[in-house]
A and B are shown apart, each in its own frame.
Chain A
Amino acid sequence: MSGIAQKLAANQKQVAISEFFEKNKHFLGFDSLSRSLITAVKEAVDNALDACEEARILPTINVQVTKIDAKKDIIELTVEDNGPGIPQKSIEKVFGQLLFGSRFHAIRQSRGQQGIGITGVVMYSQLTTGKPTHVKSKIATEATAAVVDIGLDTRKNKATKSNSGREIWEEENGEIKKHGLEVTCRMKAKYQKGRQSVWQYLRMTSIVNPHAEITFTDPEGEIHFWPRVTERLPRKVESIKPHPHGILLGQLQRMLSESKDSRMSVFLRMNFSGVSGRAAKELCAAAEIEVNTKPKSMKPDQMRALLEAFQGEKMFNGKPVKLLNPPTNCLSPIEEMLIKKGLSKTIDSRYATTMTRVPNVSLGNPYQVEVGLIFGGNMAADKPVEVLRFANRVPLMYQQGGCLLTKAIESVDWRQYGLDQPGAKGVPKGPAAILVHLASTNVQFTSEAKEALAENGEVIEEVRKAMLEMGRGLRKHLEKKKKMAKTKEKFELINDILPAIAKKSAEILERPIPNLSGSITKIMSAVISESETAWNKATKMTDVSIKIYNYTARARAYTILATWPEKSGGIMKNNVFGGRKEATGVWAWKLETLQPGENLTITFSLDGLEKGDWTETDVFYRGSQEIIGALKMDEKYLDEIRNQEKIMQELEAKSESDYTESSPNEETTQNEEEAQPEPAVKPPTGQATLFGGEL
């Protein structure tokens, strides 16, 4: 009897897991044949990027999609990386067990907040083709690679191993591969082209991972290659503890029940960020809890009271308890210049502007917004601009309309910035692409599908602000382009056409060629600036020259200002004109009086940059007479730069003080908490409960 019962139970569980897939395929990313393939690529590539990042390796990733049976839609996918590899004994766990991996425990910005990881791919392959997933892994300390076929025992939710062994892994050039991972799986899937395709996913991934080299071989054998444009790896991100402002009751309950701390004051200080020793005591007081209460013995009423103290609803001395913001070093922005490089290598354009806002906190969650806009080139002028959305460096490819990032773009009146937008509604039209990246420790999605970001007033405003600033940049660029065209015309006029008129008229009339200087001053009747920014191969520096001509009848005096990429490491060299720094990335030169007909050239070089980092220098002036080819200095612009400088300084000071305040305490309780690097907190995503208590 008991045997039958066990069998029934086992059958039930198998049904449950297949059913689970069937029921939840839409948010697991396997709801259509074409999306299944994208999801599989996504899981494998995200893993590769994360592994490389952790091991501080510049990733080189090869993706190959082959059609095995076109009629039955059977596809083989191979993803190979040069990451650290997985030790043989861990392969089974990584590929065979759901929700394995440290990232589900830590609060930090990571790619893998979506889907159920590579195990889902193994499971999907198994369920649709019955084939196990072939894994080849080599770690640096071993001479050969481990190979194994991983299937999934759906009854036990455990991996099954077969054909395991070791083999020599040679690269194409015959050399032994140092380390890396190769995953091959066969699944029912469809390869598609266009906006929602493997190609687009990899293209977008390449934009936000400029340090990666990605090669994609599509089913037709065509090879798509996205080169590495920087040797700089993303900053290593730190794990942080949850912040009281972002905590929910259930989570608090769990933390309390699992706590081994003896006193509430220690519990609060050690398990949350932004809580100092003083704040811990004040929180307890506000919630009317004794500081020496044992966390495990907290009553539901007390928990609720504590939560209210967290939210500032219960006060201490008539004021909400003051909490420090969580540190923002847990975020890893891509950074302006790298976004620019990523965009420029992928999309042909004339103009690119990018911006990384200073980090911010919403509901206790640190977040940071980055945006990029490219314009011109071969992009279609009459279609909506391409919107490239990313959350923690992961491309979002579906549900564009319902996403916070799209809504922020739509909230801007783009018409004033030179893009078409009928009725100031919707995504603007024009030869442009807009990139938005939200980096956060806790990205909130509209649904489990994790393709659209949920509404959040603070975040939307932050994105909107960044959009407005970029819009201003675009308008400035378009105006400048127009003015430059005008200037170019004027120079053609006085340098080519006017001398030709003088010569030809003199010839016809058989008279001497007249002097042109008077006519030139009358024709130009302006002060003109011509600037050039060019890469100097010999010196490996970017040379900038700014020439000012006075084509007016009066003497003129100006202060000339120019931008340079100080934040991105550009160092000014050979600046013979001297001058002084006006603000971060803005230099100023006060010029001697320029007599009528005179000209003058400011030159300098920028060191510490790579080719293509800096291609356009903005030139501004202070002075009464307009300079064609330069912009009148907007003092508000300088104020904004100084403002951001101030915020940055304050943030740095703050995170330092946060650090110094908590570190001595941590030392004293090292045995209690420090041995376990991850906070004792379950992820806020509800995913851990999908399969019950396996973890």
Chain B
Amino acid sequence: MAQKRMSAEDTKVAMHSVVGEMYDKIVNGEPPTMTLPVRTKTNIGFDKKLGVYKYGKKRSTRDATSLGSAKQLLRALHVIEFIEEMIDSGKSSTLREMYYISESWGLGKFGSQNESNNLAEDLEIVTKCLREDFKLRPEEDGARMIGNLTLQERNRRGEWMRINARDDVGDSGYGVPYNVEKEKIELLEHDINFIMAIETGGMFDRLVENGFDEDYKCGLLHLKGQPARSTRRIIKRMSEEWDLPVVVFLDGDPWSFRIFASIAYGAIKTAHISEYLATPSATYLGITADDIMAYELPSDDLSKKDIEALNAELTDPRFADSWWQEQINMMLELGKKAEQQSLAKYGLDFVTDTYLPEKLAELGLA
């Protein structure tokens, strides 16, 4: 595993070093500070060793010379104190709960939920701890999975529960929890050849109904749009621990390209833990720009925003390879985008009988 998990004690020590930086500055007659990496596109670089995008060396110092920054420092102290209390009492809370708890922090209370989310990320970066170490849970919706794979999950009573994601679940599949680390989930065994991550619920249900997972011996995973951290993490774990290929089946539009990039290369917002979340071996299956032409799919015109997004992607280092450049340029030339479900033009079974087998064959998976 790329990132070492911290013990409760280690987490506290890491957090105390943040507090110590502020304290020492005051003792030395300076404004208190907190030093962070710059979290913008300009400070994202490709890590050749890890095959993912990581924050670079640029650092910024948040110092208490303006009211806004000073409040941020005070909030950080309150959050640290709150996390220590949770670690000591064995509790966890959602980011939203923390936002409401901050109501009682007086001057250190959050102005918006976004502020508390960002501060949690700041602390992760500075302390090199994970949100999970802080006992902070996201609000985000985890993925669901169906397929002949078996894992065990520790339930609320602390007992391990063995679950087969084909035989022990209903039509909605196995729900991926927010924490997918080893203390919570163990991957046991499988009889599948690859994992297919799917953007929309409609397409996921179509493949389930058509029994695609059994016909093609694969695990189906519903991303629910922009995938949550735990979704990307479990894809990564299955891919690495079971040595399985991952294919990603999305709509054919600029936003889907970005979803793929966050799965395969790492997202800008979480670049500090890219090596822990990204699956560089993942493959983009479709819908591609040439699919729109080759299958004569019903399509919509690109909006102004779509075109802006595509142009931005042309200069995004994550899409720098020739295949992506060609796809993006082709979509721009076509001026069209298409949804996964537009494949239904040729009937409900077309996607499972024709489209996917053809695409998988290209990759040698069918």
Contacts and interface: CB of A to CB of B under 8 A. Distances in A.
Interface stretch (A411-419, A485-493, A596-604, A682-690): A485-493
Given A509-B16, A509-B19, A523 B81 contact: no
B64 A498 contact: yes
A330 B27 CA distance: 72
A518 B106 CA distance: 25
Nearest to B21: A505
Contact of A490 (B27, B67, B78): B67
B32 interface: yes
B288 to A, nearest CB: 47
Interface in B54-100: 64-67, 70-71, 73-74, 77-78, 80-81, 84
Interface string A489-524: 110110011101110111111010010111101110
Interface residues of A, number: 25
B26 interface: yes
B298 interface: no
A522 B70 CA distance: 13
Contacts of B84: 508
B78 A504 contact: yes
Contact of B19 (A490, A500, A505, A522): A505
A522 B26 CA distance: 10
A514 B26 contact: yes
B16 A508 contact: yes
B74 A522 contact: no
Instruction: Tell me what chain A mostly uses at the interface: helix, strand, loop, or mixed.
Output: helix
Interface string A188-211: 000000000000000000000000
B23 interface: yes
B182 to A, nearest CB: 30
Contacts of B77: 501, 504-505, 508
Nearest to B27: A514
B9 to A, nearest CB: 15
Contact of B64 (A501, A517, A521): A501
A497 B71 contact: yes
Given A489-B67, A505-B22, A509-B23, A497 B30 contact: no
A513 to B, nearest CB: 9
A519 B30 contact: yes
A523 B26 contact: no
Contacts of A522: 29-31, 65
A511 B23 contact: yes
A518 B23 contact: no
Given A492-B67, A493-B67, A519-B25, A500 B30 contact: no
B26 A493 contact: no
A496 B107 contact: yes
A522 B29 CA distance: 8
Nearest to B29: A518
A501 B84 CA distance: 17
A505 B31 CA distance: 13
Nearest to A511: B23
A501 B67 contact: no
B70 A497 contact: yes
B211 interface: no
Nearest to A508: B19
A507 B27 CA distance: 15
Contacts of A521: 29
Contacts of B70: 493, 497-498, 501
Contacts of A505: 19, 22-23, 26, 32, 77
Interface in A593-631: none
A488 B281 CA distance: 54
B23 A514 contact: yes
Contacts of B64: 493, 497-498, 501, 519, 523
B230 to A, nearest CB: 30
Interface string B85-122: 00000000000000000000011100000000000000
A502 B71 CA distance: 12
A506 B77 CA distance: 10
Contact of B81 (A492, A496, A504, A517): A504
Interface of B: 16, 19-20, 22-23, 25-32, 64-67, 70-71, 73-74, 77-78, 80-81, 84, 106-108
21 contacts: A489-B66, A493-B64, A497-B74, A500-B108, A501-B22, A501-B74, A502-B32, A504-B108, A505-B19, A505-B22, A505-B23, A505-B32, A508-B16, A508-B80, A511-B23, A514-B27, A517-B29, A519-B26, A519-B31, A519-B32, A522-B30
Closest 3 CB pairs of A and B: A518-B29, A489-B67, A504-B77
